Amino acid sequence: MSVHAPPTIFRQVVNGTVWAVVVAAAGLILAVALPLAFGDRPHTVLTGSMEPAISAGDVVHVRPAR
């Protein structure tokens, strides 16, 4: 029978950081993939012609009319 030593603080920090990166990456993938799966297309607004509601540099999702 082997007895495992508890993880060190450094190891816990590394594990927590790895999990945070994995969860953040999965969230970003879902944030991009789900709108594309439903027909939305992201577009970046290039000018300030729609201000004050939408500023230049904002990303909008466009869905085809059905």
Q: What is the pLDDT of residues 55-64, one digit of tens each?
A: 999 988 888 7
56 occurs within a structural domain: yes
Length of the chain: 66
On whether the CB atoms of residues 62 and 38 are closer than 8 A, the answer is no
Give residue 52's domain range. 9-62
Indicate the pTM of the whole model: 0.57
pLDDT tens for each residue of 18-64: 999 999 999 999 988 888 888 888 889 999 998 999 999 998 888 87
Specify the number of domains making up the chain: 1
Residue pair 44/29 in contact by the 8 Å Cβ criterion:
no
CA distance 7 to 18: 15
In a domain? residue 16: yes
Give pLDDT, residue 1.
62
Tokens representing 33 are 């993939």
pLDDT of residue 35: 83
Task: Identify whether 3 is part of a domain.
Answer: no
Four-point Cα dihedral 49, 53, 55, 59, nearest 10: -110
